[in-house]
Amino acid sequence: MANAEPRSAAQVEASHPAASGMARAAWLAGNLRRLPPAIPALGLHLPIWAFILAVCHGVGSTCGLSLTALTWIEGLTAWAVTRGLGLPRWWQPINLFFFPLLGLALSSEIEPLWAMVAFIALALTSLGSLRTRVPLFLSSRPAVAALARCIPERPGLRLIDLGCGLGGPLAGLARLRPDLVLHGVEAAPLNWLVSRLRLDRRARIALGSLWDQDLSRFDVVYAYLSPAPMARLWDKACREMRPGSLLISNSFEVPGVAPDRVIALDDLSRSRLLLWRIP
């Protein structure tokens, strides 16, 4: 039997009026999960804050609560909604502290120039993560040391760091494994500039998307991304990388594909290196 087409919330409500509320909630949650997590995660703050202000206006007072207390109520509500919608776990603390920290910044009377500088720095380093769903993660020293040990010793081995950030792993590998030919790619302009200046001639750093890189040129691909792009990265690696080459992910698994080797790291986040040999 052919699979039935998915129905909208309105269609479900029409056929099952008693379940209309639950159907609408499930339909909304499903559609929100298809968006980049940052959009629903950050977008829910405005309606929550508007609701809190409307309640305060309706009762004619803030019930003796300070602005700081109201921002914490908003943050706790945003945290609960984020958790209920099943958004990625790292958005929960972000949403919890977003409004309280925003209120603190506004009450501290920071000069507008510094606020503009902070926004520009954020735009040049992190705003691309709204689209890519890959925040800036910094590899720990134990991770870099383990990475240097697990890469085969063969002169001229070519390695690329996908989303090399500020260049920490490549700088460590340049010191620990001078036999490697190092490359990196970074989409955020400021991060790319820092990596480029930091590594100078020890690695070639490209500005652009990791999805535009031809992985067939590399023997080892290292990535510290997020859960969101790992399935797509695995498909790209299997299409482009040569059999026997090595894909290494810091912390994040490929859904449904068991790694050939796992290296536990003795760092603060208790992370792991996951290694796959390309078949």
What CATH number is associated with residue 251?
A: 3.40.50.150
- What is the model's pLDDT at position 189? 84
With b meaning 16 or more CB within 10 Å and e meaning fewer, what string describes 97-108? bbbbeebeeeee
Task: Kindly report, residue by residue over 19-62, the tens digit of the pLDDT.
Answer: 565 666 565 555 555 555 556 656 677 787 777 777 776 555 55
Distances (CA, A) of 151 to 158, 177, 222, 246: 10, 9, 10, 8
DSSP 35: S
What is the mean predicted confidence (pLDDT) over 87-97? 70
What does the mean pLDDT of the chain come to? 78
Number of domains in the chain: 2
Q: Are residues 83 and 105 in the same domain?
A: yes
Q: Are residues 128 and 161 in the same domain?
A: no
- pLDDT higher at 242 or 29: 242
- Within a domain: residue 160? yes
Q: Are residues 220 and 157 in the same domain?
A: yes
- pLDDT higher at 93 or 14: 93
Q: Are residues 268 and 146 in the same domain?
A: yes
Q: Are residues 111 and 230 in the same domain?
A: no
pLDDT band at 104 (very low <50, low <70, confident <90, very high): confident
Which residue range(s) make up the domain with 164?
141-277
pLDDT band at 1 (very low <50, low <70, confident <90, very high): very low
- Asked whether the whole model's pTM tops 0.75, one would answer no
Q: Are residues 80 and 156 in the same domain?
A: no
Task: Kindly report, residue by residue over 205-219, the tens digit of the pLDDT.
Answer: 999 889 999 999 999
